[in-house]
């Protein structure tokens, strides 16, 4: 029995992939599985996504791309965070395509002389990574003139896609269109271009271009609170209660004695702490689901444990019962994000440390 587990529902991943694929119609669907598939286990979920409509995969690093290949993913993979100082040989040998975010990156690929397919990452207003407009001509010309390099298209990333009314979305869209026109004027075909992440995909069909890069929604979460596209959350995180013990009025629990019982009652101890990803700042904001009922977490979050107030324990919570930190039977990732002043993206990336992933549904491998 695992003390701490993240259950991943592969049927939910399959459902979400099919739903997104249907929603974007003829547009290609790139499934973003960086950060180990947003915490779901990239190799395992990617294979389910591939079987249910994903046309290609997006990762941040070369290592993530290599791990996908090792997991048996055959479809195209694009990696967009890499350094010209890195050894690219292994990644290029297994056909990992690269995003090119600067002149320095373009030069490195030209000098490498190895056949490579690339997508140029143009900065259209995010001002994070991406080729500055002043360098567009230089990068596009360098890549165009290198016979061993194939430019498949351009991509860019929206700063405010989760605020559909924000005028910066249209400004970026316009800049992106200008970059595509420029590439074509310079003689590059750029057949596959992409701008939209999950919120862009769901709210701006006019900006889909030839491909959308979707992450969060494939894991079953809405990128904008209040939207409902019928997605199914794929992850639940839970621990097995290690102790249920009495507490008397005036007694406190956990370090610093920051919570004191006002009545006779019961506490449950759950073996998950900040070493497993629960930030100390969640103190008093997290409610843990046990037997379908929510109970408040109380006192300091420790390295390995949290304490939950069971009140009078009228439902007879016992050691080894499952305590859901988020997901089915507990707070939703959305509710926990709202309670802890963050976004659902961060919540699903939380389980780390001693958590074991348990896969349910899908094709049993």
For tokens 């701490």, name the residue: 4
Query: Does the footprint of ligand PLP cover residue 157 (CB under 6 A)?
Result: yes
- 317-354 burial by CB neighbour count: b if 16+ within 10 A, else e? beeebbbbbbbbbbbbbbebbbebeebbbebbebbeeb
Could you give the CA distance from residue 286 to residue 267 in angstroms, rounded to a whole number? 15
Q: Minimum distance between the CB of residue 215 and ligand PLP, rounded to whole angstroms?
A: 3
Interacting positions 162-201 with ligand PLP (CB under 6 A): 197-199
Q: Is 34 a catalytic residue?
A: yes
Q: Minimum distance between the CB of residue 223 and ligand PLP, rounded to whole angstroms?
A: 5
Here's the x/- map for ligand PLP, 76-95, by CB under 6 A: it reads as: ----x---------------
**Beta strands 77-79 and 96-100, pairing class:** parallel
N residues, the chain: 365
Q: Which stretch binds ligand PLP (CB under 6 A): 181-189, 209-217, 242-250, 312-320?
A: 209-217
Q: Which stretch binds ligand PLP (CB under 6 A): 105-113, 166-174, 208-216, 317-325?
A: 208-216
For the chain, the 3-state helix, strand and coil shares in percent, each to the nearest 5, are 35, 25, 45
Q: Is 75 a catalytic residue?
A: no
Q: Minimum distance between the CB of residue 317 and ligand PLP, rounded to whole angstroms?
A: 36
21, 34, 274, 345: which one is catalytic?
Answer: 34
Query: Does the footprint of ligand PLP cover residue 214 (CB under 6 A)?
Result: yes
Query: Does the footprint of ligand PLP cover residue 351 (CB under 6 A)?
Result: no
Which residues are 270's β-sheet partners? 306
Contact 24, 229 (CB under 8 A): no
Our CB check for ligand PLP shows the closer of 215 and 351 to be: 215
Identify the H or E element spanning 308. strand 306-311
Alpha-carbon torsion angle 230, 235, 237, 240, nearest 10 = 100
Q: Which stretch binds ligand PLP (CB under 6 A): 104-112, 207-215, 285-293, 327-335?
A: 207-215
Q: Which residues are annotated as a binding site?
A: 128, 303
Q: Minimum distance between the CB of residue 68 and ligand PLP, rounded to whole angstroms?
A: 16
Considering only residues 33, 216, 231, 270, which one is a binding residue for ligand PLP as defined by CB under 6 A?
216
Q: Which residues are annotated as a binding site for substrate?
A: 128, 303
Q: Minimum distance between the CB of residue 232 and ligand PLP, rounded to whole angstroms?
A: 16
List the one residue out of 23, 12, 70 whose CA is nearest residue 43: 70
Query: At 131, phi and psi to the nearest 5?
Result: -70, 125
Q: Which residues are catalytic?
A: 34, 255
Residues that bind ligand PLP (CB under 6 A): 32, 80, 157, 197-199, 213-216, 223
């Amino acid at each position: 029995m695992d003390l701490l587990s993240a259950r991943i529902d592969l049927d939910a991943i399959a459902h979400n992939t099919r739903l997104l694929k249907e929603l974007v119609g003829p547009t290609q669907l790139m499934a973003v599985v960086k950060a180990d598939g947003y915490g779901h286990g990239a190799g395992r979920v990617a294979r389910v996504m591939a079987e249910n409509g994903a046309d290609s995969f997006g990762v941040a690093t070369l290592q993530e791309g290599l791990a996908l290949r090792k997991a048996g993913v055959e479809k195209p993979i694009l990696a967009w965070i890499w350094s010209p100082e890195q050894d690219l040989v292994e990644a290029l040998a297994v056909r990992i395509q690269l995003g090119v975010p600067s002149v320095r990156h373009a030069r490195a690929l030209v000098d490498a002389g190895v056949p490579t397919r690339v997508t140029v990452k143009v900065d259209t207003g995010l001002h994070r990574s991406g080729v500055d407009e002043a360098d567009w001509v230089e990068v596009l010309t360098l890549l165009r003139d290198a016979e061993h390099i194939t430019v498949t298209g351009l991509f860019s990333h929206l700063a405010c896609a989760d605020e559909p009314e924000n005028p910066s979305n249209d400004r970026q869209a316009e800049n992106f269109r200008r970059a595509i026109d420029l590439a074509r004027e310079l003689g590059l075909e750029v057949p596959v271009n992409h701008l939209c992440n999950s919120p862009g995909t769901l709210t701006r069909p006019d900006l889909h271009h030839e491909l959308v890069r979707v992450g969060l929604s494939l894991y079953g979460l809405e990128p904008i609170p209040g939207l409902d596209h019928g997605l199914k959350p794929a992850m639940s995180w839970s621990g097995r209660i290690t102790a249920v013990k009495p507490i008397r009025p005036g007694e406190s629990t956990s370090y610093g004695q920051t919570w004191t019982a006002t009545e006779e009652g019961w506490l449950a101890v759950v073996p998950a702490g900040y070493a497993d990803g629960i930030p100390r700042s969640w103190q008093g904001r997290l409610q843990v689901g046990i037997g379908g009922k929510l109970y408040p977490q109380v006192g300091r979050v420790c390295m390995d444990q949290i304490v939950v107030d069971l009140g009078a324990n009228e439902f007879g919570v016992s050691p080894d019962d499952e305590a859901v930190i988020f997901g089915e039977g507990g707070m939703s990732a959305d509710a926990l994000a709202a309670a802890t002043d963050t976004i659902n993206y961060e919540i699903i990336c939380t389980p780390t440390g001693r958590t074991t992933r348990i896969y349910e549904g899908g094709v049993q491998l």
